[in-house]
Amino acid sequence: MAFTPKNIDHVVVCVSDLDRALKFYCDVLGCTEERRVERIGLIQLRAGASMIDLQLVKPAPEDSEFSGPTKNMDHFALRIEPFDPKALLSHLADHGIDAGEVVQRYGAEGDGPSVYIDDPDGNTIELKGPANKD
Question: pLDDT for 72-109, tens place per residue?
Answer: 777 899 999 999 999 999 999 999 999 989 999 988 88
Instruction: Indicate if the pLDDT at residue 62 is higher than 70.
Output: no
Quick check: 56 pLDDT over 80?
A: yes
User: In the CATH hierarchy, which top-level class contains the domain 10-57+75-128?
Assistant: alpha beta
From the list 6, 4, 15, 41, the residue with the least C-alpha distance to 125 is 15
For the chain, domain boundaries: 10-57+75-128
Predicted confidence (pLDDT) at residue 25 exceeds the cutoff of 70: yes
Model confidence at 6, in pLDDT bands (50, 70, 90)?
confident
d(CA 32, CA 22): 9
Res 70 pLDDT > 80? no
